[in-house]
Chains A and B, each alone.
Chain A
Amino acid sequence: MSEGTGKVLPNRPGWLASVNPWVLRVVNNPERLAFVLHRLTGLLMALIIMAHIFVTGTPARVGWEAWAEEIAKAQGITVVTLYFFFFAGIAWYHGLNGIRLLLVEFFGTCIGKPEKPKPPYLAPSLKACQRKLLYTVYILWAILWILTGYIVFMG
């Protein structure tokens, strides 16, 4: 029955939807932002880990001179401090939110109990403890990242 039905528009936003939380403007859905950030941070870390293993292999591959030159030579803010600062920020978020996701996805808890619809007609999982955890994650993330900045840029 395909002939005569005209051209069909595929209409899938594709990968964009999972890196851009504003592909849709879903109201009351911070979980979506959390998902996008988790995905972006995961992706970045998976890329970074390759570079990281390569770089930290310097002493063994090339020798300690190269390592010392890289690390200790320059004073103040360098690529290394910046790198660590951003890596830590990414990791803090991914790790904290990962704990929340583990609770929700792996242990199946923290998503409320099924209930019968009553006003204000909000799905139980959207007001369950995962939501509070999510806000906690954001707050802790901010605190930890600021702390990291303080430590890294201190000297």
Chain B
Amino acid sequence: MPAVETIEHDIVIVGTGIAGLRAAIEIKRKYGDKLDVGLLSKIHIMRSHSVSAEGGTAAVLYPEEGDSFALHAWDTIKGSDFLADQDAVWLFVKLMPEEIRLLEHWGLPWSRRPDGRIAQRPFGGHSHPRATFAADKTGFFEMQTLYNKLLEYDNWERYDEWFVTNIVVEDGAYKGLYAINMRDGKLYYFKSKAAIIAAGGGGRLYNFTTYAHTVTGDGYAMAFRAGIPIKDPEFIQFHPTGLVPSGILITEGARGEGGYLINNKGERFMLRKECAPTKGELAPRDIVSRCEMREILEGRGFVDEVSGLGYVKLDLTHLGEEKINERLPAVREIAIRYAGVDPVEEPIPVRPVAHYTMGGIHTDIYYRVLDETGRWIRGLFAAGEVAASSVHGANRLGSNSTAECLTSGRITGILAAEYALRQREAPTASPERHAREEEWVWGLLKRESGTPAYEIRRKLRNAMGEYFYVFRDGDGMKTALSIIKELRRKAREEMYVEDKSKIYNTDLQAALETLNLLDAALAAVSAGLNRTESRGAHYRLDYPKRDDENWLKHTLVLRSGEDDVRITYWPVAITTWKPVERKY
């Protein structure tokens, strides 16, 4: 096996979604050539999953027209079922407006109002139309603009298609990371003064998900393995409108523009008393998803012949062709291409779909990665979906996520740069660590037969879809946990990589991703089983009530031994508003 070569940069950024790119730009535009940055991504850097985001990005752009920071903060906190850290939310809402306008300056074609200013639309859980959008390709345009803007600067290196395997944390500080260059099949050690982890979510824990195939929870798993606590991983958002049968997202913007959800009797079930009589379809996602799931489970839905999935319908026909073409062109295209349904003429088949992981690497409100005692792991930052500073608490509001990617990217960019400027020497990992890493990665290639990763992955996804979906209960989660543990054993002892070549060995990559998924699943299900209440996206049939007395706190999940976890807690910062019952 080839020896580990070292590559050195001042700052390394893992993941180039909106968060990673925004961080890189902040460093470059503020510090120019003084710092040299390495950008790592397991796919071409501008193809990161963020391109899929559709609906919008929340920001208070027009205080003169009724909106206010306080209102945005309140909506976010209420949406989070009061698990959000309120100081983090305030910082977030205040940084946002400038982000939107900077992106506009850099070339983003935001949709416009007739007066030439940036248009905004209503979004679920927001009490003012503040989702800034560019048709329904918001995330795509944000990625494109950030990527293009980055090309203006020098003294940064792109590492397209480099798969990061592990980050090194020794003596409570960050000490570099390892990555495989898919193109030559060698393992490299990246040495840097600071690192920003922006590796995105873990949506591919599920079969039916809005996520790209490449979103496999790598960030969580790397942190988990490095002994960093994972905060609130039990909160996984299910979006109400995943297109049946592929799971591709039909943006919330569709409901924001006035779409209805209907069951097989043609009723708008969201207006029922037990759902959300005032907000209806525009209630937060957890509530809509649960109502939908009930319709399906109680036989008021439809069933897809090919996949066997139950669904309800999203009706846009009353919006008219012109509005759909103007505001929701991608929804129309997606529905036609992937379901053969033209939303101008027919309602679209949808069902709840795994969409976002609220939890993530434990950070403070400035996105510094913390250990379980709250000490900063020096040199390490996390941004974007992978970080949990906790702006989103137990349930994220639509359009707050790309927004958080932007603000967290900006904050970590500044902090990482300032930190790196003050460091003389980049720390190095111990040589034994190199050897361990090589063994961990190349060991997978040694086995000559066994179970392919794909089979393990499939079983894991089936288990997650069965027992850790919109509705959960203790027994189900216990079953899921035992399946996960069994699969972990299997992966360790039997997983086999058929492809032995060096160049673009995606078979090996799939095996490594499967290991990551198993780590992420272990953390999520353990935390879910542990939290004996229902809050936000975590809804337990055996504990259907929110329990502020015992559970108004964040879970921190730490690794303990091969297949076990240790759970501790972290207080919620309640600086502005008292938790109250959440009704829409």
Interface positions of A (Cβ within 8 A of B): 1, 3-6, 116-119, 121
Contacts and interface: CB of A to CB of B under 8 A. Distances in A.
B185 A118 contact: no
Contacts of A121: 333
B183 A116 contact: no
B329 A5 contact: no
Contacts of B183: 1, 5
A61 B184 CA distance: 67
Interface string B498-513: 0000110000000000
Contact of B325 (A1, A6, A118): A118
Contact of A4 (B184, B325, B329, B332): B184
Given A116-B325, A116-B326, A1 B336 contact: no
11 contacts: A3-B184, A4-B184, A4-B186, A4-B502, A6-B502, A6-B503, A116-B325, A117-B325, A117-B329, A118-B325, A119-B336
Contacts of B87: none
B181 interface: yes
A5 B181 CA distance: 10
B342 interface: yes
A4 B185 contact: yes
Contacts of B336: 119
B263 to A, nearest CB: 28
Interface of B: 135, 181, 183-186, 325-326, 329, 332-333, 336, 342, 502-503
* 10 interchain residue pairs of minimum CB distance: A4-B184, A118-B325, A6-B503, A5-B184, A117-B329, A5-B183, A116-B325, A116-B329, A4-B186, A5-B503
A1 B5 CA distance: 12
A118 B329 contact: yes
Contacts of B135: 116
A121 to B, nearest CB: 7
Given A4-B502, A5-B503, A6-B503, A117 B184 contact: no
Nearest to B185: A4
A6 B503 CA distance: 7
Given A116-B325, A119-B342, A121-B333, 9 more contacts: A1-B184, A3-B184, A4-B184, A4-B502, A5-B183, A116-B329, A117-B325, A117-B333, A119-B336
A121 B342 CA distance: 13
Contacts of A4: 184-186, 502
Contacts of B329: 116-118
B179 to A, nearest CB: 13
A121 B325 CA distance: 11
A119 B332 contact: yes
Nearest to A3: B184
Nearest to B344: A119
Contacts of A117: 325, 329, 333
A118 B325 CA distance: 6
Contacts of B326: 116
B500 to A, nearest CB: 14
B332 A118 contact: yes
A103 to B, nearest CB: 29
Nearest to B321: A118
A1 B333 CA distance: 41
B328 to A, nearest CB: 11
A118 B343 CA distance: 12
A136 to B, nearest CB: 31
Give the interface centre of A1, A3, A4 by most chain B CB atoms within 10 Å: A4
Contact of A1 (B181, B332, B342, B502): B181
Nearest to B2: A4
Contacts of A1: 181, 183-184
A46 to B, nearest CB: 40
A117 B336 CA distance: 13
B216 to A, nearest CB: 25
A5 B332 CA distance: 42
A119 B329 CA distance: 9
B55 to A, nearest CB: 18
A122 to B, nearest CB: 13
B122 to A, nearest CB: 21
A17 B183 CA distance: 29
A116 to B, nearest CB: 6
A121 B186 CA distance: 43
A100 B303 CA distance: 54
A119 B181 CA distance: 41
Contacts of B181: 1
Contacts of B342: 119
Contacts of A116: 135, 325-326, 329
A132 B527 CA distance: 65
A119 B325 CA distance: 9
A117 B334 CA distance: 12
A45 to B, nearest CB: 43
B391 to A, nearest CB: 33
Give the interface centre of A1, A3, A117, A118 by most chain B CB atoms within 10 Å: A118
A4 B336 CA distance: 44
A1 B161 CA distance: 13
Contacts of B325: 116-118
B333 to A, nearest CB: 7
A35 to B, nearest CB: 29
B190 to A, nearest CB: 15
Contacts of A6: 502-503
A66 B183 CA distance: 69
B508 to A, nearest CB: 16
Nearest to B322: A118
B319 to A, nearest CB: 14
A4 B333 CA distance: 42
Nearest to B336: A119
B410 to A, nearest CB: 31
A96 B502 CA distance: 55
A114 to B, nearest CB: 12
Nearest to A1: B184
A140 B582 CA distance: 73
A5 B501 CA distance: 11
A116 B112 CA distance: 14
A109 B502 CA distance: 51
B523 to A, nearest CB: 35
A6 B502 CA distance: 9
Nearest to B325: A118
